[in-house]
């Protein structure tokens, strides 16, 4: 599927912060390989090969194969967190902000499925320390969604029986997109984002949740 830059970075996924150019190419190659085959089934020779380098080149920029996964995981989680914080920090009602958060989070999982897959499903392949660090970031992600739901519940705009459980379900829905979404499939990331935002609003019992389909993305500002 074409070059590394297009596949893994296609959706304007950053990776720009990874500074030596060769290190970035290796990292993007690793994201692709991990997403396709999984961390343990990917060899360092495969990663280096995809980046157009010899196996030994990898170890100039990264200490171990695990460090690659760790870096990918941290950058990915930070990006996810940033997306949610942008949505939840905007002005607007909990309903608007939850719809915005879910649709942009889903768009990220669908559009950058390659990255999202690694970020969401290869966590267990990290060692204890790295894993603990990433779990900390995940708690922040969780808190972001829970915050919006709590606010809506407090104001009476939402009707939720179990805030924690509902938060878990909303995140489940979003994250699982990375498992099934197919780039060649019938739906665009935008369509899935809109559909899922609507479904989530129904889950939290928001008032006018059965919105008309077909309009563009949700209005901003």
Position among 10, 49, 92, 205 found at the interface with a copy of itself (CB under 8 A): 205
Q: Which is nearer to a copy of itself, 100 or 122 (CB)?
A: 122
Task: Based on the shown chain and the rule CB under 8 A, indicate whether residue 166 belongs to the binding site for a copy of itself.
Answer: yes
Q: Which is nearer to DNA, 61 or 113 (CB)?
A: 61
Residues whose CB is less than 8 angstroms from the CB of residue 131 and which lie 6 or more positions away in sequence, other chains included: 123, 124
Query: What are the C-alpha distances in Å from 44 to residues 19, 26, 39?
Result: 20, 10, 10
Task: Based on the shown chain and the rule CB under 7 A, indicate whether residue 127 belongs to the binding site for DNA.
Answer: no
State in angstroms the smallest separation of the CB of 78 from DNA: 23
Binding mask 136-165 for a copy of itself (x = CB under 8 A): -----------------------x-xx--x
154 binds, among a copy of itself, DNA, none (CB under 5 to 8 A by kind): none
Are residues 115 and 9 in contact, defined by beta-carbon separation less than 8 angstroms? no
Counted residue by residue, the chain has a size of 221
E strands in the chain: none
Tokens read off for 22: 């060769």
Binding mask 64-103 for DNA (x = CB under 7 A): xxx-------------------------------------
Residues whose CB is less than 8 angstroms from the CB of residue 21 and which lie 6 or more positions away in sequence, other chains included: none
């Amino acid at each position: 599927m074409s070059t590394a830059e297009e596949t893994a970075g296609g959706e304007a996924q950053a990776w720009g912060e990874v500074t030596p150019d060769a290190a970035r190419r290796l990292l993007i190659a690793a994201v692709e390989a991990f997403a396709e085959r999984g961390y343990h089934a990917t060899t360092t020779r495969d990663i280096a090969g995809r980046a157009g380098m010899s196996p030994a080149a990898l170890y100039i920029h990264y200490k171990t194969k695990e460090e690659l996964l760790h870096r990918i995981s941290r950058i990915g989680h930070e990006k996810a967190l940033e997306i949610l914080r942008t949505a939840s920090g905007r002005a607007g009602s909990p309903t608007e902000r939850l719809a915005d958060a879910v649709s942009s989070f889903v768009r990220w999982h669908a559009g950058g499925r390659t990255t999202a897959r690694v970020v969401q499903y290869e966590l267990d392949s990290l060692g204890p320390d790295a894993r603990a660090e990433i779990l900390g970031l995940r708690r922040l992600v969780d808190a972001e969604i829970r915050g919006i739901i709590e606010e809506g519940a407090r104001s009476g705009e939402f009707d939720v029986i179990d805030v924690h459980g509902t938060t878990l379900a909303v995140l489940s829905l979003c994250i699982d997109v990375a498992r099934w979404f197919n780039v060649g499939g019938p739906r665009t990331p935008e369509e899935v984002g809109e559909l899922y935002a609507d479904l989530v609003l129904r889950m939290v019992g928001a008032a006018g949740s059965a919105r008309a389909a077909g309009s563009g993305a949700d209005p901003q500002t």
